[in-house]
Amino acid sequence: MASKKDYRVPLRSQDLNVYILDISYFSGKLEAYLKYKGIDFKRIELQWDDWATTIAEKTGLMQVPVIHDTVADVWLRDTTPIIELFEADEGLSKIATGVLPDCPVQRFVSRLLEDFADEWMWRPALYYRWGFKTDRDLYARRFCVDFLTNAYKGLVPEFIAKDSIIRRQVNDYIYMDGIRDEATKANTEQLYLDVLDILQMHFEKHQYVLGSQPTMADFGIFASMFRHFSLDPTPAKIMRQRGPAVYEWVARMWNVKNQGPGSPRVSAPDGDIPDTLYPLFDIISDQYLPYLNANAVAFKNNKTKFDFTVGDACYKFNVVPYRVWCREKLQDHFNDMSSDDQNAVRIFLEKRNCFKELFSDGIIRSNKDHNGADPPFCREKNYNLMEKVKMYTGGTPWHESQESLPNSFFMVCTVVCLILGLIFFGLGMLLELTD
């Protein structure tokens, strides 16, 4: 298995196969990064049978995006470790602008903003897609056409397939993510509006998050703003009316050209960031970092659920081991700095009320083995059919739900849909024979 020390990013044309879903949150993030770095790759849109065979077996997971380096025969997953790996590559750094600033404060902030955007904006992004009829009907249809065509092969009527998809997505990404009443719905909607308003004011003055070139923070924020908020009907309408500068930034990110080797240019002086972003750190310090801490403490205490309050909304969240790891990595990035750099970062974070929240309750290790491989690397694993069905209905072991009953219920629903599909198929054949 390759390691971070000996892996080299292939720079020849289309040595990388990138498996994506065109509607995927993180697929858009990775595509934008690779495009910006000038890496020529082969774009492969997955069908269910690819996911259930090649991807599951080669990576041990059923998630996208993943990269297959066809030269080294290495598989890579998880966008943040992939970007970190590529940024450390000497060959790539000689031809492409980096996305991590030289200034330790701006470098750490770039990572913190990326993590916040990846994990905390996930809930409103999925809520808007599956919580509103216009949006969920559209994406259930796209899911059938783009992803499940080869799986059903005409055996299951589309209306049954769409209903199964909607039930699964609403359960996994709304109900199971704590959105269970009007207060949590309103709070989730307000999170999108607040972040959109902050970014609107920021992008009226700045081209990118930290300055005149993209950083890691841009690609993290881009994940939700591109494939979800700027494209899904309900949040896209809000963005066009309330955040046109954000809408413009999304297009700019998709088209930005790399300027050659060097570090990204940041508009603020060393040790600081644009002050238009300060309100975003109020959300990070009041909501996201306390959430990461509560999730980690619950994990440490062997709990599967915990209550978390934001304003008037009380969420009942599942413990997510992956986010324990996210918090751990942020703490490790800080602890790996020199004492002078740590002091500079600490001064900035304390001004923004983030330092205490990040290190509250100390370092809690996730002890996550990532299927026996250190991200972004993967280890092969064989799954039987029922394991694959469980992964489809309840999530992969990477982000799997903590509640077994709803997952079992939706496994049964999937099997019932297949049986009904066979019945409809048989009736159709019988009618043809009797005509």
Contact indicator for 60, 76 with CB cutoff of 8 Å: no
Do 306 and 190 fall within a single domain? yes
Instruction: Look at residue 160 and tell me whether its pLDDT is greater than 80.
Output: yes
417 has a pLDDT exceeding 70: no
Whether residue 289 sits in one domain with residue 186:
yes
- Judgement on whether residues 430 and 305 belong to the same structural domain of the protein: no
pLDDT value for 406: 45
The three state secondary structure string of 122-189 is HHHHHHHHHCCHHHHHHHHHHHHHHCCHHHHCCCCCHHHHHHHHHHHHHHHHCHHHCCCCHHHHHHHH
Q: Measured between alpha carbons, how far is residue 178 from residues 127, 154, 308, 316 in Å?
A: 11, 35, 9, 5
For residues 411, 228, 374, 215, the Cα torsion angle rounded to the nearest 10 degrees is 180
Reference 263, options 90, 83, 102, 105; nearest CA is 102
Question: Encoding tokens for residue 427?
Answer: 């009736």
Question: Do 119 and 137 sit in the same domain of this protein?
Answer: no
- Residue 122 confidence (pLDDT): 98
Tokens of 258: 């790399």
Q: Give 49's contacts (C-beta < 8 A, 6+ positions apart).
A: 150, 151
CA 130 to chain centre: 16
> What's the start-to-end Cα distance of the chain, in Å?
60
* Residue 17 shares a structural domain with residue 110: no
Asked whether residue 168 falls in the same domain as residue 70, the answer is no
Give the model's pLDDT for residue 418: 55
Q: Are residues 89 and 118 in the same domain?
A: no
Domain match, 159 and 290 both:
no
Name the burial class of residue 245, with classes exposed (0-12), middle (13-18) and buried (19+) by CB atoms within 10 angstroms of its CB: middle
Lowest mean pLDDT among 164-168, 316-320, 336-340, 352-356: 164-168
Phi, psi dihedrals of residue 141, rounded to the nearest 5°: -65, -45
21 and 112 in a single domain? The answer is: no
1-32 b/e (C-beta count within 10 Å ≥ 16 → b): ebeeeebebbbeeebbebbbbebbbbbbbbbb
- Asked if omega into 269 is within 30° of 0 (cis), the reply is no
pLDDT score recorded for residue 159: 85
Q: Are residues 29 and 152 located together in one domain of the fold?
A: no
Domain count, the chain: 3
How much is the mean pLDDT over the chain? Answer: 89
pLDDT for 414 equals: 56
Res 410 pLDDT > 90:
no
Residue 415 scores a pLDDT above 90: no
Looking at 311, 346, 368, the residue that finishes a domain is 368
So what's the pLDDT on residue 373?
Answer: 78
Domain around 247:
100-131+174-368
pTM assigned to the model: 0.90
Other CB atoms within a 10 A radius of the CB of residue 329 amount to: 17
Least confident window among 63-67, 190-194, 370-374: 370-374
CATH number at residue 397: 3.40.30.10
Task: Please report, rounded to a whole number, the percentage of residues in the chain having pLDDT higher than 70.
Answer: 86
User: Same domain, yes or no, for 280 and 149?
Assistant: no
Q: What separation in angstroms does the CA of 258 have from each of 11, 12, 62, 263, 403?
A: 15, 17, 32, 11, 45
Which of 98-107, 264-273, 329-338, 419-428 is predicted least confidently? 419-428
Mean pLDDT of 404-416: 50
From start to end of 246-344, where are the E strands?
A: 305-310, 313-318
Among candidate residues 111, 254, 128, the one with its CA nearest the CA of residue 196: 128
Q: Is there a single domain that holds both residue 230 and residue 358? A: yes
Instruction: State yes or no: pLDDT of 181 exceeds 90.
Output: yes
